[in-house]
Amino acid sequence: MPPSDVHHEHTPVVPIIEPVPHISVRGLTMAYGDNIVMRDLDFEIRRGEIFVIMGGSGCGKSTLLRHLVGLQQPAAGAVFFNGENFTAATEARRDVMRHDFGVMYQSGALWTSLTLAENVALPLREHTQLSTREIDEIVRYKLALVGLAGFEEYYPAQISGGMTKRASLARSMALDPDVLFLDEPGAGLDPVTSRLLDNLILQIRDSLGATIVVVTHELQNIFAVADRALFLDIATRTIGALGHPVELRDNSPNPRVRHFLSRSD
Ligand X SMILES: Nc1ncnc2c1ncn2[C@@H]1O[C@H](COP(=O)(O)OP(=O)(O)OP(=O)(O)O)[C@@H](O)[C@H]1O
- Please report whether residue 63 would count as binding ligand X according to CB under 6 A: yes
- Please report whether residue 237 would count as binding ligand X according to CB under 6 A: no
Which of these ranges, 106-114, 149-157, 165-173, 231-239, lies near Mg ion under the rule CB under 5 A? Answer: 106-114
Of the residues 70, 74, 186, 240, which one makes contact with another protein according to CB under 8 A = 70
- Please report whether residue 99 would count as binding another protein according to CB under 8 A: yes
Do 110 and 167 touch, CB atoms closer than 8 A? yes
Q: Per-residue b/e over 32-49, b at no fewer than 16 CB within 10 Å?
A: eeeeebbbebebbbbbbb
Q: By CB under 6 A, what part of segment 82-111 binds ligand X?
A: 106
Residues contacting 38, CB < 8 A, separation 6+: 28, 29, 30, 59, 60, 63, 64, 232, 237, 238
Determine the length of the chain: 265
To the nearest whole angstrom, how small is the minimum distance from the Cβ of residue 57 to another protein?
10
- Give CA angle at 147 (182, 126), nearest 5°: 55
Binding mask 175-214 for another protein (x = CB under 8 A): ----------------------------------------
Binding mask 57-76 for Mg ion (x = CB under 5 A): -----x--------------
DSSP code of 158? G
- Please report whether residue 61 would count as binding ligand X according to CB under 6 A: yes
Do 114 and 122 touch, CB atoms closer than 8 A? yes
Of the residues 12, 58, 83, 209, which one makes contact with ligand X according to CB under 6 A = 58
| Radius of gyration in angstroms for the set of CA atoms belonging to the chain, rounded to a whole number | 18
**Residue numbers of the site for Mg ion (CB under 5 A)?**
62, 106
* Contacting residues toward ligand X, per CB under 6 A: 32, 37, 55, 57-63, 106, 217
